[in-house]
C-alpha cells in the first residue's frame, strides 16, 4: 500500500497494522506534539466523509493501493473551526424556535465542537451557553470569535494593536492602590477584569506565534529567557489572584503596581521587538 501525505509519497514502513484505523492510530502518535493533525483522507481516490468514516477505518490495508492523508496545522484547523462556528451561528439564528434544540444537540456532536472543546474550552462553553439560550447571546459570541480569528490570521498585527491596551491597563494597575484606598471598589474591580482580558490576549497571541514557528525561544526579557520570564509572571499572577480573593488590598495594590504592570509591559515590548528582528 502506498501512503501519501498531502500528495507526497511518505516513506512509512508498516509493522503489525492490518486496517486503516490501526495505521492512522500509529501515525497519530507520530504526529503528536508536531502541531499538526489529520484533516482528511481518501482511499484509491474515494474521499472519506462523516458517513463513510467507520467503514474506511475498518478497511484491510491489503485491499488498498493508495491511502491519501491530509494533515493541517492546528492553527489552520482552529481557524476553519471558528469560521464554521460563525456559520453555525447563522444557522441557529435562522432556525425556528422548535428546531433550535435539535440543532444544538447535533452541533455538540460535530467535529468542530469537539475541537473547540479541546483547544479553546472557554469559547466552547460560551458557544454552548449561546446555543442553549443562556449567556450573552449570539451577538456577543460573534464578536469574540471575530477577535479570535484576527489573532489566528494575523498574530503580529494583533500583538501590535494590543500596545495601547497594554499601556492603558498598566497605567490603571499603577493607580489601583489609590483606587482601593479611596474606596473606588467598582473601578478597582473593573481594572482587574480588564487586566485579565488583556493579559490573556497577549499570552494567546504569544502561543499562536510559537505554534506558527516564530522563534520565541530566542527572545529575552530583562536579560532572561522568555520562557523563564513567563513562568515568573505566572507566579506573580497567581499571587495577585490569591490576594484579591483574600481581600488583601495592600498586597493587591503592591503586586499590581510593582510586579504585574512592569512585567506585562516588558513582556509585550520584548515580543514586539522580537517580531521586528524577525522581519
Q: Give per-residue pLDDT as tens, 96-126.
A: 999 999 999 999 999 899 999 999 999 999 9
What pLDDT sits at residue 279? 56
Q: What is the dihedral sign for C-alpha 72, 73, 78, 83?
A: negative
What pLDDT sits at residue 267? 94
The answer on pLDDT for 64 being more than 60 is yes
Contact 41, 69 (CB under 8 A): yes
Task: Read off the pLDDT of each residue in 57-86 and give the average, rounded to a whole number.
Answer: 93
Question: Which residue reads 526579557 in cell numbers?
Answer: 221
Close Cβ partners of 254 (under 8 Å, ≥ 6 residues apart): 177
What pLDDT digit, counting tens, does each position of 197-250 carry?
A: 999 999 999 999 998 888 887 899 988 999 899 999 999 999 988 998 888 888
Helix (H, G, I), strand (E, B) or coil at 29: helix
What pLDDT digit, counting tens, does each position of 132-175 carry?
A: 887 678 999 999 999 999 999 999 999 999 999 999 999 999 99
What pLDDT sits at residue 15? 83
What pLDDT digit, counting tens, does each position of 258-278 carry?
A: 999 999 999 999 999 888 876
Task: Read off the pLDDT of each residue in 176-183 and give the average, rounded to a whole number.
Answer: 90
Helix or strand holding residue 240 (H, E): helix 226-245
Helix or strand holding residue 66 (H, E): strand 66-73
Confidence tier at 187 by pLDDT (50, 70, 90): very high
The ranges assigned to domains in the chain are: 2-73, 77-153, 155-278
The answer on pLDDT for 11 being more than 90 is no
Strands (E), the chain: 2-5, 8-9, 36-43, 46-47, 66-73, 220-221, 224-225
What pLDDT sits at residue 241? 86
Task: Read off the pLDDT of each residue in 55-65 and give the average, rounded to a whole number.
Answer: 92
CATH code at 2-73: 3.10.20
What pLDDT sits at residue 278? 62
CA distance to 62, 99, 101, 143, 190, per residue, from 105 (Å): 38, 10, 6, 23, 36
Helix (H, G, I), strand (E, B) or coil at 219: coil
What pLDDT digit, counting tens, does each position of 31-53 carry?
A: 877 788 888 999 999 998 878 88
Confidence tier at 65 by pLDDT (50, 70, 90): very high
Q: Which residues pair with 15 in a beta bridge?
A: none
What pLDDT sits at residue 38? 87
Its pTM surpasses 0.85: no
Task: Read off the pLDDT of each residue in 173-190 and give the average, rounded to a whole number.
Answer: 91
What pLDDT sits at residue 27? 86
Nearest to 255 by CA among 171, 166, 173, 172: 173
Amino acid at each position: 500500500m502506498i501512503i501519501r501525505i498531502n500528495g507526497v509519497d511518505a516513506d512509512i514502513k508498516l509493522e503489525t497494522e492490518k486496517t486503516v484505523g490501526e495505521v492512522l492510530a500509529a501515525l497519530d502518535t507520530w504526529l503528536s506534539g508536531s502541531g499538526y493533525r489529520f484533516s482528511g483522507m481518501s482511499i484509491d481516490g474515494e474521499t472519506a466523509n462523516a458517513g463513510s468514516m467507520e467503514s474506511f477505518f475498518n478497511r484491510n490495508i491489503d485491499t488498498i493501493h493508495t491511502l491519501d492523508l491530509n494533515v493541517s496545522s492546528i492553527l489552520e484547523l482552529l481557524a476553519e473551526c471558528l469560521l464554521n462556528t460563525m456559520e453555525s451561528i447563522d444557522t441557529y439564528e435562522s432556525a425556528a424556535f422548535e428546531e433550535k434544540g435539535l440543532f444544538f444537540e447535533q452541533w455538540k456532536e460535530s467535529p468542530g465542537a469537539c475541537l473547540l472543546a479541546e483547544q479553546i474550552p472557554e469559547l466552547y462553553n460560551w458557544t454552548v451557553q449561546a446555543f442553549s439560550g443562556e449567556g450573552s447571546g449570539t451577538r456577543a459570541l460573534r464578536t469574540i470569535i471575530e477577535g479570535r480569528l484576527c489573532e489566528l490570521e494575523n498574530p503580529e498585527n494583533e500583538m501590535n494593536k494590543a500596545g495601547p491596551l497594554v499601556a492603558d491597563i498598566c497605567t490603571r494597575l499603577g493607580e489601583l492602590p489609590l483606587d482601593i484606598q479611596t474606596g473606588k471598589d467598582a473601578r478597582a474591580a473593573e481594572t482587574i477584569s480588564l487586566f485579565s482580558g488583556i493579559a490573556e490576549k497577549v499570552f494567546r497571541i504569544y502561543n499562536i506565534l510559537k505554534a506558527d514557528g516564530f522563534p520565541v525561544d530566542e527572545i529575552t526579557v530583562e536579560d532572561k529567557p522568555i520562557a523563564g520570564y513567563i513562568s515568573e509572571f505566572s507566579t506573580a499572577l497567581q499571587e495577585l489572584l490569591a490576594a484579591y480573593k483574600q481581600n488583601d488590598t495592600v498586597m493587591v495594590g503592591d503586586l499590581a503596581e510593582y510586579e504585574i504592570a512592569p512585567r506585562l509591559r516588558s513582556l509585550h515590548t520584548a515580543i514586539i521587538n522580537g517580531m521586528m528582528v524577525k522581519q
